[in-house]
Structure 1
């Protein structure tokens, strides 16, 4: 089914979308639309308003989200395997319990988004703003992460082992029990090198300037 420029806000569509079809939503208003449990595998959402849209328990396997977005979209317990989000506003979005295996987030605004308690083997993220986001317990092991702001985000318990962080920011980031062993942090802004960060960065790779900043913060000058 195709929906073009339709106002579907506050409608209940979860049981109106037949399974086995590819659904396309273009320039639609889905504000507070109920898509709970909907069959949306392979669906496309292009430049849609997603303000408080309810995708809880929906099948979004391989779904494509391009442009648009909104605050507090709910993806809790949804199947998002192989889904992709490009240039989408996902501020304060909720992904708790969602299956996020091989999901990609590219150029997304994810301020205050919560992926803690999500399931799956991990996701990819690039050129996105995750300021104040909660990624507690997520795995980005071995990933190339480029141009991502993690300022004031909660990365407690996350696995960044063997990942490469390029042009990323970790300013004010919470790193309780976060793993960075063999991660390449030479292209990242590590922010204030406090003791908690240094414990998290154990085993990581940093450059000479970063090492000098860490020592200088402790009153040690390298000549």
Structure 2
């Protein structure tokens, strides 16, 4: 079923979507749309307005979101296995309880997004802004993460074991009980190296320049 340029705002849509079809939404207004539990496996959302859209418990396995987006989208408890988000505004989106195995976020604006409590074996992040986001407890083990801003984000309890962070920023980031064992942080901006960060970075790989900056912040001069 194809929806092209439709105003579907504030509508209950789940019962209108046959489970045996692949649905395509192009430049639709889905503001506050009710898609709770909707059968949307493989669906395509292209440049849609999604402010406040409710995708809780929806089947979004393999769905693709490209462009568009909005504030406070709810994906709680949704199936997002293999889902992809490309250049989507996901500011203040909620993913608590969502199954994010092999989901990908590329070029997304995720300021204030809440991913803590999500499930699965890991998701990928690239060229995205996660300022003020909450990823508490998420696993990003062994992943290559490129061009991501984690400024003032909460990464408490996250597992970055053996991950590579390239062109990433960790300024003001909360790192309580975060694991960076054997993580490659040589391409990351580590921000101000407070005691909590130093504990989190134990076992990580950093450059000589990064190490010198950490020591200099503690009044130690490296010659």
Please tell me the TM-score bracket, short chain as reference: over 0.9
- In 2, distance between residues paired with 1:216 and 1:171? 17
Deviations 1:86-112 (A, max 9, x none): 000000000000000000000000000
Gaps of 5+ in 2: none
Quote the residue 2:40 is aligned against. 40
Q: CA deviation at 1:16?
A: 1.2
Where do residues 125-144 of structure 1 align in structure 2 (5 Å cutoff)? 125-144=125-144
Where do residues 47-66 of structure 1 align in structure 2 (5 Å cutoff)? 47-66=47-66
Quote the residue 1:216 is aligned against. 216
Q: CA deviation at 1:185?
A: 0.2
Classify the secondary structure of the residue corresponding to 1:15. Answer: helix
Quote the residue 1:185 is aligned against. 185
- Report the count of equivalent residues: 223
Matched, 1:84 2:87: no
TM, length-normalised to structure 2: 1.00
Quote the residue 2:201 is aligned against. 201
- In 1, distance between residues paired with 2:30 and 2:179? 38
- In 2, distance between residues paired with 1:51 and 1:84? 18
Where do residues 26-37 of structure 1 align in structure 2 (5 Å cutoff)? 26-37=26-37
Where do residues 6-45 of structure 1 align in structure 2 (5 Å cutoff)? 6-45=6-45
- In 2, distance between residues paired with 1:185 and 1:43? 36
- In 2, distance between residues paired with 1:14 and 1:22? 13
Q: CA deviation at 1:204?
A: 0.1
- In 2, distance between residues paired with 1:79 and 1:156? 24
Quote the residue 1:67 is aligned against. 67
Quote the residue 1:168 is aligned against. 168
Q: CA deviation at 1:192?
A: 0.2
- In 1, distance between residues paired with 2:173 and 2:218? 20
Classify the secondary structure of the residue corresponding to 1:125. Answer: strand
- In 2, distance between residues paired with 1:14 and 1:92? 23
Where do residues 114-153 of structure 1 align in structure 2 (5 Å cutoff)? 114-153=114-153
Q: CA deviation at 1:14?
A: 1.1
RMSD: 0.3
Deviations 1:129-153 (A, max 9, x none): 0000000000110000000000000
TM, length-normalised to structure 1: 1.00
Deviations 1:48-94 (A, max 9, x none): 00000000000000000000000000000000000000000000000
- In 1, distance between residues paired with 2:72 and 2:79? 18
